[in-house]
Amino acid sequence: MGEIATCSNSRSSELSPEEERVLIRDIAMTAETNSSEGDSFYLITQRWWQSWIEYVNQEQQNGINDGSSSLEHSDPVCSSKRPASIDNSDLIYDGTSEDSNISIEIQDSLLEGRDYVLLPQEVWSQLHSWYGGGPTLARKVISSGLSQTELAVEVYPLRLQLLVTPKDDRWTIRISKKETIGELHRKACEIFDLSLEQVCIWDYYGHRKHALMNDMDRTLDDANIQMDQDILVEVLNNVNGTALSGYKSSIQDNGSSKKEASSILLEPSKSSFSIAGGLSASTGGSKSCGSELSQGQNPITLGRELDNTYGSSGVTTRGSSGGLIGLLNLGNTCFMNSAIQCLVHTPEFAKYFREDYHQEINWQNPLGMVGELALAFGELLRKLWAPGRTSIAPRPFKAKLARFAPQFSGYNQHDSQELLAFLLDGLHEDLNRVKHKPYIKSRDADGRPDEEVADEYWANHIARNDSIIVDVCQGQYKSTLVCPVCNKISVTFDPFMYLSLPLQSTTTRSITVTVFSCDGSALPFACNLNVPKQGRCRDLIQALSNSCSLKNNEELKLAEVRNHTFQQFLEDPLISLSTIKDDDHLVAYKIPKSGKKTLLLRLIHRWQEPLTISTQNGSGCYPNWTPFVSVVACDELTRGDIQTVVQRMLSPLLKSEIRAKSGDIIDSLTPSNTCHDSKSDEKCCDPLTDSVNKNNNSSKATESLKLPLQLVDENNECVDLTVGEEKAIRVSSSSTSILVYLDWSQELLKMYDTHFLESLPEVCKYGPVNKKARTEPLSLYTCLEAFLREEPLVPEDMWLCPKCKERRQASKKLDLWRLPEVLVIHLKRFSYSRSMKHKLETFVNFPIHDFDLTKYVANKNNTQRQLYELYALTNHYGGMGSGHYTAYIKLLDENRWYNFDDNHISPINEEEVRSPAAYVLFYRRLKCADAASNGQPDAAYSNGSSHK
């Protein structure tokens, strides 16, 4: 393969990057326009594809005007290298053979756009002819969607594991869901050398016969065959068409010939899987193979003795009683299954949808889904409560969900709470009893009693929103806003469907900033600070100034660094710290104060590679490491001045042996000790003037340590600063900064210790949860108090003060006022950053019985105790990429808890319910007489007594 790649590269070298780009673009447009069912698409690793995109677009990148002082554009980069051979090895499992495509198995958790892209056959063929490499990963285009008119690429065909009993021989195959039952029948017979007349196929879910698959022209998709589904292929007696009588004896003899009774079992794999890209392909053509049973034989009775042989332990969902029915995982749909199980086991919903709810469907509501979501949910709930049913594949419901909420389409993992929020809101609008919503203008409280205002708000809400969802799940809280300017107090009473409680019990946030000294007085260091969560940039600057002992003649320049260049400078002191994400990289530069007009010098490091065959179109220069910032005087600025400033910034990085050889020179570039005496800060000379004086007095130093600097002038041209040190640099009067590149060579690297510049810590680095955090649970009451406490609004939620008539960032406090029959509590385990979610593994200790909210209800007219009992919850295990959802449900009729893990259901003890992975909690209101412990706190709730 290496020789082929080399030959292909030599032929491709005749084309420029622009010619390659245009040719591939034209081929791709033609291929995608003419795509049809049965066409082949090819997977190619995103890493290689991105490198090729950068290579063929380098002329456009180099043409961007980045030499201006504005930070809105990225800094210019040098030409990208030509990619090496295509290497798809990161898409397949280690050790996978490349001798045959049949044996190549791609990894289960790949995502389109993150791990791979799909290319039409013509595009792949052209790229492969140029670059070679592999392995080749072809997938077929199939029809999909409700009408089967949409085209999709089947990236993950069905994976089926064949198990032959009694020999326990196994064979795993891949087959498209668009193949027929007859084709599966034929493949099984071919693998194990059986005749078609000997075999019949059963849906063998849970090792129990479910349905005979005798319609050979029906597709596996139509037969509702799922990934890793169990299938039993039963071998019949050649004489009378019954199961071979020798089956049991062959088990006792521990072996039999291929003509004796045997069965083929497709057993689910233990590994998880993910269907990426949403579209899929298959291997092999579609054939229809028939298989006839002997006349007079009832196929339902065939092999009945096998039912007892493979009995399953625990609770089975095949033929189970109402409420104990699982949902098949259609491909990363555990988030949906867990949420649905909690809703269908809410007693009020179970009763409502099992009765005639159709008369309440609002067919004309423009905010609803014309009743289709309610119908799909109601039909699914009835199936889950029907006695004697098997596990259900919620395909129709998921299809409706994808239609009205495209964010949940495809087969990627999603957030269970986000789905719950959509379902509750969507079901409410579909079942809203209000056909024509009146317009109602809310009145201000104007000193009226809270009870009167709250009832008015609730009446206005009910006049527009009246449904089973409102009856069961909606409550009301009191929202108090205080204007920071006029102290105007505004009170509103707003409805809520669920409570999202924060898990952090503190009001501070940890932020890491790397500090650089531009005067060369110290090495860079990381500084960890605690700042207010809702604070502003000035709070961070103040904390940083105190931590790094900022002198009176110094100031801090705070910047966000991304991809080794400056993303933005945080100069506005009122910027909210909430805009700084956990995965950002912040750098603070200590620069001198000066009364003179100055320019900001932005120094970008570049790695300079030697010219090779693969970098024929450029020198291989790329931004690298952490950029520097300093200031220079505008008046009479020369090339030598910039050399001196840059040398001073880099002086702490000089290696000890270099420093020893050039001691006098280094001393002339390093600030004197008197300038660092805190008592003489006020008397220090102007740092900028001192910089110029040092330049005049150390010409020998600048010649010995001259650096390869390139200045990007106002015409976007590079100026070599290694020559003509006395030459003045012309800068426009409107310019506020200059851009300089330092091209590092191998010789220069030998002089400096650059590991201080190689990586920057994130603002907040999430690591594994330590044991101490796990042994100190966070009380659910503490989370509730953190949610209700007074906090300032973020800038995005600024409030229009009715007195000032201007938008203000007011402080806000919440109080519970009207509690619902079912209280849904979302534990906010995920914090969002710019590129990912972070999960908080904090253990929340929540009560199962007698969750007492009496003290948190501001409505004192209600004298009854507000007690709730847990009846359902969803759990989230693992991280975002490989997480899994389950549900714990209490069947009230049985007073027993069960674990619903997709289609697998098992009983659990109440001690197991208080899960460390709890994500969404469902509580039902208790009547006083129903309190499980006569109003006493949950005995097992160790942290609940503190709230009294």
Query: In whole angstroms, what separates CA 437 from the centre of its chain?
Result: 38
The mean pLDDT of 366-379, rounded to a whole number, is: 92
pLDDT of residue 899: 95
Q: Between these two residues, 621 and 53, which has the higher pLDDT value?
A: 53
Q: Is the pLDDT score of 241 beyond 90?
A: no
Q: Across residues 30-54, what is the average pLDDT?
A: 87
374, two tokens: 């309610």
Question: Residue 627 pLDDT more than 90?
Answer: yes
Under a CB-based contact definition with an 8 Å cutoff, are residues 740 and 711 in contact?
Answer: yes
414 or 251, greater pLDDT: 414
Query: What number is the average pLDDT over the span 850-855?
Result: 93
Q: Range with the lowest mean pLDDT among 112-116, 504-508, 723-727?
A: 504-508
Q: How far apart are CA 253 and CA 751, in angstroms?
A: 78
Taking alpha carbons only, the member of 204, 456, 156 closest to residue 310 is 204
* 3-class DSSP string for 12-48: HCCCCHHHHHHHHHHHHHHHHHCCCCCCEEEEEEHHH
Identify the band that residue 507 occupies on the pLDDT scale cut at 50, 70 and 90. Answer: low
Asked if residue 608 lies in contact with residue 730, where contact means CB atoms within 8 angstroms, the answer is: no
Q: Is 334 a catalytic residue?
A: yes
pLDDT over 90 percentage in the chain? 26
The residues that bridge with 358 in the sheet, in sequence order, are none
Which pLDDT does position 72 carry in this prediction?
A: 35
Q: Measured between alpha carbons, how far is 654 from 96 in angstroms, rounded to an integer?
A: 48
pLDDT at 339: 96
**Section 387-394 average pLDDT:** 75
Angstrom distance (rounded) from CA 416 to CA 497: 15
pLDDT band at 795 (very low <50, low <70, confident <90, very high): low
Contact between 365 and 467 (Cβ < 8 Å):
no
Query: Rounded to an integer, what distance in angstroms lies between the CA atom of residue 540 and that of residue 546?
Result: 10
Tell me the average pLDDT across 706-730.
87
For residues 813 and 553, what is the distance between their CA atoms, to the nearest angstrom?
42
Does the pLDDT of residue 317 top 50, yes or no? no
Judged on CB neighbours under 10 Å (0-12, 13-18, 19+), 82 is buried
- Residue 806 tokens read as 């201007």
Instruction: Indicate the pLDDT class of residue 125, thresholds 50, 70 and 90.
Output: very high
Strands 158-165 and 851-852: unpaired
Q: How far apart are CA 674 and CA 669, in angstroms?
A: 14
Per-residue pLDDT of 910-946, as tens digits, reads: 999 999 999 999 999 997 645 544 444 465 564 443 4
* Number of other CB atoms surrounding residue 381 within 10 Å: 22
Q: Is the pLDDT of residue 251 over 60?
A: no
- Would you place residue 356 in the very low, low, confident or very high pLDDT band (cuts 50, 70, 90)? confident
C-alpha 739/C-alpha 629 separation (Å) is 10
Please give the distance of CA 50 from its chain centroid, rounded to a whole number.
21
264 has pLDDT over 80: no
> Other CB atoms closer than 10 Å to residue 307's CB: what's the count?
11
Is residue 676 pLDDT above 90, yes or no?
no
By the 10 Å C-beta count (0-12 exposed, 13-18 middle, 19+ buried), 434 is classed as middle
Identify the band that residue 301 occupies on the pLDDT scale cut at 50, 70 and 90: very low
Q: How many angstroms separate the CA atoms of 912 and 887, rounded?
A: 12
Q: HSE (CB half, 13 Å, CA atoms) of 881?
A: 8
CA distance 638 to 644: 10
> Bridge partners of 581?
none
CA pair distance 591, 629, nearest whole angstrom = 8
Closest to 876 in 3D by CA, of 110, 335, 270 = 335
Which of 295-309, 696-710, 757-771 is predicted with the least confidence, judged by mean pLDDT?
A: 295-309
Q: Which of 745, 616, 719, 623 has the alpha carbon at shortest distance from 78?
A: 623
- 308 Cβ partners below 8 Å, 6+ apart? none
H helix runs in 476-523, sequence order: none
Query: CA-CA distances (angstroms) from residue 304 to 208, 300, 423, 779?
Result: 10, 8, 42, 53
Please state the rounded mean pLDDT for residues 286-314: 28
Looking at residue 294, what is its pLDDT? 29
The strand pairing partners of 741, in sequence order, are 604, 710
pLDDT-based confidence at residue 705 (cuts at 50, 70, 90): low
Query: How do beta strands 799-800 and 807-808 pair?
Result: antiparallel
Which 3-state string (H, E, C) describes 692-734? HHHHHHCHHHHHHCCCCEEEECCCCCEEECCCCCCCECCCCCC
According to DSSP, residue 570 is labeled -
Signed CA dihedral, 129, 132, 138, 143: sign only: negative
Per the listing, tokens 């053979």 go with 97
H/E element, 55:
helix 46-56
Q: What pLDDT does residue 109 have?
A: 67
- pLDDT for 389 equals 62
Higher pLDDT, 894 or 933: 894
- Of 334, 342, 473, 684, which residue is the catalytic one? 334
pLDDT the model gives residue 837: 60
Q: Which residue has the higher pLDDT, 549 or 784?
A: 784
Q: Looking at residue 31, what is its pLDDT?
A: 81
Q: What is the mean pLDDT of residues 875-895?
A: 85
Q: What is the pLDDT of residues 398-451, one digit of tens each?
A: 988 888 888 888 778 888 999 999 999 999 999 999 999 898 887 877 788 999
Per-residue pLDDT band at 739 (split at 50, 70, 90): very high
Question: Rounded CA gap, 570 and 541, in Å?
Answer: 10
pLDDT-derived band at 472, boundaries 50, 70, 90: very high
Residues 6 or more apart in contact with residue 461 via CB below 8 angstroms:
476, 495
- Is 636:773 a contact under the CB 8 Å cutoff? no
pLDDT digits (tens, 9 = 90+) for 520-547: 888 998 998 888 876 788 889 988 988 8
pLDDT tens for residues 143-192?
Answer: 765 456 667 888 888 887 666 665 566 677 888 888 898 888 888 888 87
Give the separation between CA 709 and CA 604, rounded to whole angstroms: 10
Consecutive H or E run containing 540? helix 537-547
Helix, coil or strand: residue 427: helix
Mean pLDDT of 251-262: 33
Angle at 431 between CA 425 and CA 436, to 5 degrees: 100
Residue 283 has pLDDT above 50, yes or no: no
pLDDT at 940: 56
| Cα torsion angle, 182, 186, 189, 192, sign | negative
Q: What is the pLDDT of residue 428?
A: 96
Range in 183-197, 368-382, 489-503, 663-677 the model is least confident about: 663-677
- The mean per-residue pLDDT over the stretch 350-377 comes to 91
Query: In the predicted model, what is the mean pLDDT of residues 644-667?
Result: 77
- Most distant CA atoms of the chain, gap in Å: 111
Mean pLDDT of the residues in the chain: 75
Q: Residue 867: pLDDT band by 50, 70, 90 thresholds?
A: very high
Q: Which residue has the higher pLDDT, 254 or 549?
A: 549
How many CB atoms are located within 10 Å of the residue 761 CB? Answer: 14
Tell me, what's the pLDDT at 614?
41
- What pLDDT was estimated at residue 332? 86
In the numeric block, which tokens belong to residue 739?
A: 């851009």
In 709-866, DSSP assigns E strands to 709-712, 718-720, 737-744, 778-779, 791-792, 799-800, 807-808, 811-818, 822-828, 830-832, 837-839, 844-845, 851-852
- The pLDDT assigned to 766 comes to 57
Handedness of CA 201, 203, 204, 208 (dihedral sign): negative
Tokens describing residue 866: 């507000």
Helices (H), 840-880: none
Average pLDDT estimate for 18-25 = 89
